[in-house]
């Protein structure tokens, strides 16, 4: 799997790199730009879209739809980012399905990162049979049918009323997703269960949850924070699933504080050299 990436702030000389990826049916530019703007002088922000979403090519059926394959594709992209930007502290932040990817990166590819942030995700997400059912449903009828119900889960009633334009932009991304790619991503989520491996994670880990998020039960999020050694959990009380859209300033502040703490061992190592 070969994933391309876009640099949000190519002129930045910031001393750290933050790679961000979106939710299932999401566009990284739509979901992460407000956070990236708040971090513009603090990190070189890299957007990666998942297959068939945003600007990414559709899913290549030579790739098996598993979370391990998806995480490996992201890890390959991270190495290309490092080759282009040099040996800087690199962090990964993923929303929803991409938060699941973040956990797989921490377990399977820890050498590529200085820390990961898991946003509105957990060690398991939903039930495998339900993801397989959704995959079949989308293959038959497309993603447009999902928009109305998904909007209610992704945003609170107040946010939908007050920020109609932002909501419409996000939902247009879901409707525009490549149907087969979306279905394959659903099938990858059916393979996602890292509960047995979380205790082995040693990378710094930040967990962010929306207090109004009905898609990711808070007890599942808390399990990650309680199981991964040293993990920190923050709940954005008034946000639903799309925390990067509903509370971008809070997300940016929490990410920056996390990156500054997590990179201290890296800075000390560089000074010692």
Q: Are 237 and 211 in contact (CB under 8 A)?
A: yes
The tens digit of pLDDT for each residue in 7-57 reads: 999 999 999 999 999 999 999 999 999 999 999 999 999 999 999 999 899
The tens digit of pLDDT for each residue in 193-203 reads: 999 999 999 99
Q: Would you state the pLDDT for residue 265?
A: 62
């Amino acid at each position: 799997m070969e994933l391309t990436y876009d640099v949000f702030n190519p002129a930045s000389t910031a001393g750290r790199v933050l790679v961000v990826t979106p939710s299932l049916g999401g566009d990284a530019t739509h979901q992460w730009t407000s956070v990236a703007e708040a971090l513009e002088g603090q990190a070189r922000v890299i957007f990666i879209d998942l297959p068939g979403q945003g600007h990414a090519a559709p899913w290549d059926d030579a790739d098996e739809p598993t979370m391990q394959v998806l995480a490996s594709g992201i890890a390959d992209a991270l190495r290309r980012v490092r080759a282009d930007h040099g040996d800087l502290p690199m962090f990964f932040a993923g929303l929803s399905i991409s938060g699941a990817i973040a956990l797989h990166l921490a377990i399977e590819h820890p050498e590529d990162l200085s820390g990961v942030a898991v946003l509105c995700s957990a060690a398991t997400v939903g039930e495998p049979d339900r993801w397989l059912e959704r995959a079949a449903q989308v293959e038959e009828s497309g993603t447009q049918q999902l928009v109305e119900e998904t909007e209610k889960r992704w945003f609170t009633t107040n946010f939908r009323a007050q920020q109609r334009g932002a909501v419409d932009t996000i939902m247009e991304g879901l409707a525009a997703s490549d149907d087969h790619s979306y279905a394959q991503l659903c099938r990858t989520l059916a393979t996602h269960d890292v509960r047995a491996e979380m205790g082995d994670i040693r990378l710094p880990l930040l967990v962010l949850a929306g207090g109004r998020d009905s898609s990711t039960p808070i007890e599942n999020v808390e399990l990650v924070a309680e199981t991964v050694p040293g993990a920190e959990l923050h709940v954005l009380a008034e946000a639903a699933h799309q925390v990067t859209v509903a509370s971008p300033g809070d997300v940016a502040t929490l990410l920056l504080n996390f990156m500054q703490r997590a990179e201290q061992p890296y800075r000390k190592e560089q000074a010692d050299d």
